[in-house]
Amino acid sequence: MIEALSKAEMALRTHQQHIDMISNNVSNINTPGYKASTPVFNNLVSPPSSDESSQLEIGHGVEISGSVHRFTDGEYKFTGSPFDLAIQGNGLLEVELENGETAFTRVAALKKLHDGSLATVQGHKLSANVTVPPDVEEVKIDRNGKVLGSIRGESELLSLGQLELVLFDAAEALKMGDQGLWYETELSGQRQYLNPGEDGAGTILQGYTEMSNVNMIEEMVTLMAAQRAYQLNSRVIQTSDQILETINNLIR
């Protein structure tokens, strides 16, 4: 009976974590570039002891050992700004942080710095070798990441550089940070630098921003299942408590 209480209590904590994760997904449904989190459930099993006749493993419930992110595309919102970029398909843009570290993003709302380089609106400089001269009036970026500039009075476009996308062996294992940034982990695997449109890399959409990939219907269905499981385990605790109380009364 005590074991039933322990397992039910663990299940309550697990389902509450799941509910919190769903709530976080829903609260970020309008956050550009947000990728929905999915829990990783871990079975708690103890192996049979050597003196037991049965060699069956004993289950002790489940726990959430971590989470992964669904790197499917979100909806693409048209902004019309030449410095708003969205990635359609696989890949992220590499940025350099002020502390010298490297991070990655799919939220590419850009601005031009005083030296002509490009950075996100938060000030994270793109690692790509792109420089926009002062006399360039309009910047055009094609689906393959080629950055071109037009100068007044000249018909020929000026090549300003090339954007690269970074692909990971397991992008779902990247660590999510603030301001739409992602950080590599041991589980995310090796980086691969590719031009957009090459070997499975996504393409660039200029004048668009990618919204979150949270599916409200899917999240609500999952939430109802998690809440139902939470309620059932609450009843297990309540019933176990009543049985223990009855046993104590009988002993008296």
pLDDT band at 240 (very low <50, low <70, confident <90, very high): confident
Q: Are residues 181 and 114 in the same domain?
A: yes
What range does the domain containing 12 cover?
Answer: 2-71+214-251
Same domain, 197 and 221: no
Q: Which residues pair with 41 in a beta bridge?
A: 64
Are residue 63 and residue 143 in the same domain, yes or no? no
**What are the residues facing 201 on neighbouring strands?**
90
pLDDT in tens, 26-54: 999 999 999 999 998 886 555 555 555 55
Contact between residue 34 and residue 214 where contact means Cβ atoms under 8 Å apart: yes
Distinct helix (H) and strand (E) counts, the chain: 2, 18
- Give the Cα separation of 191 and 170 in Å (integer): 10
Domain count, the chain: 2
Same-domain pairing of 42 and 89:
no
37 and 156 assigned to the same domain: no
pTM of the model: 0.81
**Mean pLDDT over all residues of the chain?**
89
pLDDT digits (tens, 9 = 90+) for 56-95: 555 566 788 889 999 999 999 999 999 999 999 999 999 9
With a CB cutoff of 8 Å and minimum separation 6, the contacts of 231 are none
pLDDT digits (tens, 9 = 90+) for 166-208: 999 999 999 999 999 999 999 999 999 999 999 999 999 999 9
More reliable by pLDDT, 248 or 230 = 230
Does 106 lie in the same domain as 200? yes
Q: What is the dihedral of CA 113, 114, 116, 119, to 10 degrees?
A: -10
Residue 154, CA distances (Å) to 14, 63, 112, 136 in order: 64, 64, 22, 10
